[in-house]
Amino acid sequence: MVDNVGAGASGDDGGVKLEQDRLLPIANVGRIMKQILPPNAKISKEAKETMQECASEFISFVTGEASERCRKERRKTVNGDDVCWAMGALGFDDYAGPLRRYLQRYREIEGDRANQEKPANTNNTITADQEKEAPTSSSSSYRNNQGIRM
């Protein structure tokens, strides 16, 4: 994979990405690797780079399959369900199930969070009559003085 490092570096092509542009940030990869190891463990640069390439390739592989499904269905957005489907289609059934459960739980939490924020925001709206009563100099300062957030 490293044999094409520097391809497209001139910037003339525009369609070819640099090798580093398609890889996950190595600092993030190293941080994730450290989380599972004992505190005093060291990780070589070569190990981080190898894991960086493997993880990036895996993500690219799964995302490509999900993207192909979207293309066939004439959709432009890849979503979490597409990624879960791709994992199963590519034979990663052991991961597809837990990923589906994680995605379902994530959506539940996000839905709960959105529902909690709705009532708080509806109390802070200004009606058209209140806007008319605002001083003509600056309606935003009027809102701030009234403790109303926008």
Domain ranges of the chain: 18-117
Higher pLDDT, 148 or 98: 98
pLDDT on residue 64: 97
* pLDDT of res. 97: 93
For 42, the token pair is 């060291």
Does the domain at residues 18-117 carry the CATH identifier 1.20.200.10?
Answer: no
More confident residue, 115 or 145: 115
Q: What is the pLDDT of residues 63-97, one digit of tens each?
A: 999 999 999 999 999 999 999 999 999 999 999 99
11 versus 37: which is more confidently predicted?
Answer: 37
Distances 42 to 28, 31, 39, 56, 66 between C-alpha atoms, Å: 15, 12, 9, 22, 36
Q: How many CA atoms lie within 13 A of 144 on its CB side?
A: 4
Q: Is the pLDDT of residue 103 over 90?
A: yes
CA–CA dist 27, 34 (Å, integer): 11
Q: Which of 59, 82, 62 is nearest to 70 (CA)?
A: 82
pTM for the complete prediction?
A: 0.61
Question: Can you tell me the distance from the alpha carbon of 113 to that of 78, in angstroms, rounded to the nearest whole number?
Answer: 23
